Structure 1
């Protein structure tokens, strides 16, 4: 009987211990996002591009001021000397190229002229060939009137205009200062995920064929909207593009759960996306990061999390390392959004308050 009581007491203690252990449940230590973003040494230079913005005026809510002084692009014309400063800043920060927007002369003629003027200003001020440049087709479903039920092929006039939009920029693609990957000029397509077509591969095959007839073998990069899974737009990208990039996950942060673990959340998404695009599309992945973001400039009542600047740029440094972790081992391409989007505080460009801090970070993070 005594032996039974001892065994019963021992069993009861074990049972209570097990229940107590179960009641604690999972802890933060068990989270897939509970890890540190390590510093990745640069043993070989990365190829770094930055999106370049043009704008007509300054929002009064912009508190930062450029070292170059406040400038604007009325009709695409830049204040004298500013583009030269921008090129010099870009080179100093280890940027290899700027990416400029170009819009359809058929669907958006005024902005096409403005975009062309900005690109020409860059070329005219880049006489020593210090930097490269690439072009991004600013695709808008609104300008073409496309939808899932109104694909591009449905209107033969619009379809031909789409191809002509690219034909018109062939002289730029042949410029000695144009950015190339494996000898192929890069063409970015913004909002490629909504290039509605019944057969996207046929559209891209025709585009490549027509450019090829003009002596251009293009390296095409398609954009996918932020925080979307890689399989969502498979019909838009598979067999179509050479590389994919997402809108910057660190711009317009609107989810507090993601914000608290932003570098890790981005890292996990990019790791999966990179593998998926490679295995299913045969496409490279290009990480795209942002130095900062301020919702209050365009939306003063916003309660979304801001991505502020700091004296050390600590969060941006983490994102640089996430980008290095997920860059293609073949092309080593990295994008930064942006060089000069002051309207949302996304700029690398030096300001009176933080100086050249963000250019210095880019240089140290991506160049030997």
Structure 2
């Protein structure tokens, strides 16, 4: 009986210990997102570009006012003197270049003319060569409607030819002395590259590179992937096709509160995984793309989605700058900002009457020695 009591007590002690251990469970310290974003010192300048937005007018819900005054660019004709001021402010921020949209002259002729006019305005205002410029080819279903996974571009010889011709038309820009080069190659962004549906994307890009080489240019091609998508989703569209990949800004159009509460950490984890995957599997560099702020309410006043607001210190944007530094390619050190002047979503880096040059100063401090 005595022996039984000893065994019974031992069993109770072991059971209590096991229960106690289970009850303790995981803690907040175990969470993968439980860490601080540290300040990354700049020992070498980063190469920073900003997407330049073309827009028709000012939404009545826009509360911010540009320091240069409200301006317009109907058909690409920007208000006199504004482009020169934009260049001067961008230089203050340490920006290396603006990235301008260009659309297909064959599929979207009016917008192509507007895009060309705006780029020409930059070239004319940049006579002293204060900064560089690059082009972003807007491949989308509006200009190449009907192209899909079941109807690849190769099935339409006319559109296939027009796709190549679009790049032929920009060759003079790519040879401009103030065009942005990466490793000696003109950088060309391809927006919505994940929708370039083809039976063999590598063959498409190989042909494009061959043609461009014949036209005297060896490009550095950068494909865009839509926001918050896993890196393996578009292997057929990117592997052995592009030199680098960037995501649509993860800090814009936030519609998930879980991501919003720890935005810098969730972006950091997404980029770390994506960068590693792209480098190992696609042999492509990664380009972090950050946004100064974002508001749903300008276009949708009743929106209940999370806002990414500005602050007196710009603290959240500063954290995102550090996340970008942590995930930039060690080879190219490229970083993008979306955008320079997208006022219709409050994404602009451009100075405003309310926050002045705060965001320009943050960019220079975060990315330049």
TM-score normalized by structure 1? Answer: 0.98
Residues 1:22 and 2:28 are matched in the alignment: no
- State how far apart, in whole Å, the 2-side matches of 1:104 and 1:39 are: 42
Shift of 1:141: 1.9
- State how far apart, in whole Å, the 1-side matches of 2:79 and 2:62 are: 19
Contact 1:293 1:307 in 2 (8 A): yes
Contact 1:287 1:335 in 2 (8 A): yes
Shift of 1:14: 4.4
Give the corresponding residue for 1:85.
Answer: 85
Give the corresponding residue for 1:323.
Answer: 324
Shift of 1:24: 3.3
- State how far apart, in whole Å, the 1-side matches of 2:208 and 2:348 are: 33
- State how far apart, in whole Å, the 2-side matches of 1:207 and 1:149 are: 22
- State how far apart, in whole Å, the 2-side matches of 1:220 and 1:82 are: 30
Give the secondary-structure state (helix, strand or coil) at the position aligned to 2:222: strand
Q: Greater shift after overlay, 12-21 or 31-40?
A: 12-21
- State how far apart, in whole Å, the 1-side matches of 2:261 and 2:14 are: 38
Contact 1:293 1:306 in 2 (8 A): yes
Give the secondary-structure state (helix, strand or coil) at the position aligned to 1:233: helix
Give the secondary-structure state (helix, strand or coil) at the position aligned to 1:293: coil
Contact 1:141 1:195 in 2 (8 A): no
- State how far apart, in whole Å, the 2-side matches of 1:127 and 1:95 are: 17
Residues 1:194 and 2:200 are matched in the alignment: no
Give the corresponding residue for 2:224.
Answer: 223
- State how far apart, in whole Å, the 2-side matches of 1:166 and 1:317 are: 36
Give the corresponding residue for 1:43.
Answer: 43
Shift of 1:21: 2.8
Residues 1:264 and 2:265 are matched in the alignment: yes
Shift of 1:6: 6.3
- State how far apart, in whole Å, the 2-side matches of 1:291 and 1:4 are: 71
Shift of 1:302: 1.0
- State how far apart, in whole Å, the 1-side matches of 2:345 and 2:22 are: 47
Residues 1:139 and 2:139 are matched in the alignment: yes
Give the corresponding residue for 2:335.
Answer: 334
TM-score normalized by structure 2? Answer: 0.97
Residues 1:297 and 2:288 are matched in the alignment: no
Write the deviation string for residues 288-345 of structure 1: whole angstroms up to 9, x where unpaired: 0001000111111111100000111111111111100000000000000001000000
Shift of 1:100: 0.1
Write the deviation string for residues 259-291 of structure 1: whole angstroms up to 9, x where unpaired: 111111111111111111111111100000001
Q: Where do residues 1-368 of structure 1 align in structure 2 (5 Å cutoff)?
A: 5=5, 8-9=8-9, 11-145=11-145, 146-368=147-369
Gaps of 5+ in 1: none
Shift of 1:151: 1.0
Q: Which runs of 4+ in 1 moved over 6 A?
A: 1-4
- State how far apart, in whole Å, the 2-side matches of 1:10 and 1:334 are: 62
Write the deviation string for residues 125-151 of structure 1: whole angstroms up to 9, x where unpaired: 001101000000011123212111111
- State how far apart, in whole Å, the 1-side matches of 2:20 and 2:341 are: 56
RMSD: 1.2
